[in-house]
Amino acid sequence: MHLNGTESIQETNIMNTQDLTCPICMCIAGDPQITSCCQRVFCTKDADLNQYYNGCPLCREKEFSFKSSPKHKEMLEHLTIKCICSEYIAPDDYENHLNRCSNATFTCPHNICREKNDLTKYNSQQLVSHLARYHCDEVPLLGSTYINKTSVEPYKKASNKYDDLVSALYSVIYPKMIDIQMKNSSLNERKSSIFTCPKGHKLIEADHTKRKRENGLVYASSGFNCDICQHTFSSGQSWHCSCTDTGFDKCVACFVFQLYNLDDPILSLASQDKEKQQERSRRRSLRNTARLPRGLLHLLTQSIDEDDDHETDLDLLALRQRSSFLYQQDTTESRNNEANRRED
């Protein structure tokens, strides 16, 4: 018995989580199935012969089959951690998994709930909703502040943290939501219209180096225009297809809204403000670089921040008064010149 245990430990040390990872979905196989040809591990979902008409996807053997592997299943217990969602996770990836796992539960970290000894359990999405609804601007998460509906407008003018929230939605939260759904979706679900352009072509996740037009040329700038919500983005990821002269792009917000069938006014407002946030940043950059008077800047850009309206009005008034004075001066000089010509 002692010798058998030693042999088992030695086998465990030789194998690692790579040997338990399905090569199709890149997840650790919860019920390992191995191929009869090359002895590679597949998860139960991807161990389906109907998916592989051209033979084994790894070694291309025409005649092959899948069978359960007790040996690899035993290794799962030694090399992985089983999450409450029943998924097996490598130890070094467990913390990242908890951040995206919808089955992992948390209590509210806010002092008010702690003082009340409120032990209500929330998954990650429920916790975000709870913080946004009941603790408005006091709980930081990922460097951002969640706010409730009644405080949106005044909070935007009072703090730049609202812009941090909008940025976090696009750079962290939306991509995580997409990643969760992609891992849980089947092959048929990925063929839905959400993942295709209007012409039926498959969309790819693209940055400015991958966004191209039909002629193969990359976009002239690093930004893009979302063909769903019509908002303009100066940078960031999009779901893209190069099937038209201008290219087709879907922003991550529209992708998430369709993927989860969301209809949330707060998230919609934040998505609209992403474009305004980038426009404000562009105008501030122009101000700092060119050092133009606000009034003249308004005439050039045709827009200005809402919270600068009063100052802008004064600048515009002064600019118009100066322009009127110059016009009157030019008119007087013109009349004098004309009178002199008549006398001559």
Domain ranges of the chain: 2-90, 111-183
The CATH class, in words, for 2-90 is alpha beta
Summarize the confidence of residues 311-337 as an average pLDDT: 47
- Alpha-carbon torsion angle 16, 17, 22, 27, nearest 10: -170
Three-state SS letters, 50-97: HHCCCCCCCCCCCCCCEEECHHHHHHHHHHCEECCCCCEECHHHHHHH
**Mean pLDDT score across all residues of the chain:** 70
Which pLDDT score, from 0 to 100, does residue 111 have?
A: 75
Task: Kindly tell me if the per-residue pLDDT of 3 is higher than 50.
Answer: no
Please give the Cα distance from 270 to 162 (Å, whole number). 9
Instruction: Tell me the average pLDDT across 177-195.
Output: 80
1-10, 57-66, 238-247: segment of lowest average pLDDT: 1-10
The string of DSSP letters for 224-265 reads EE-TTT--EESSS-EEEE--SSS-EEEEHHHHHHHHTT---H
- Regarding pTM above 0.85, the answer is no
Amino acid letter at 113?
C
CB 211 within 8 A of CB 224: yes
First to last CA, the chain: 127
Residue position matching structure tokens 């430990």: 9
Q: What is the mean pLDDT of residues 90-110?
A: 69
Greatest pairwise CA separation for the chain in angstroms: 127
Interatomic CA distance for residues 238 and 248, integer angstroms: 9
Q: Which range, of 109-118, 171-180, 240-249, 318-327, averages the lowest pLDDT?
A: 318-327
Instruction: Name the percent of the chain lying above pLDDT 70.
Output: 54
| Contact criterion met (CB below 8 Å) for 237 and 205 | yes
Chain segment 10-60, per-residue pLDDT in tens: 444 445 777 888 888 888 887 888 898 998 999 888 888 888 888 898 898
Looking at the DSSP bridge assignments, the partners of residue 275 are none
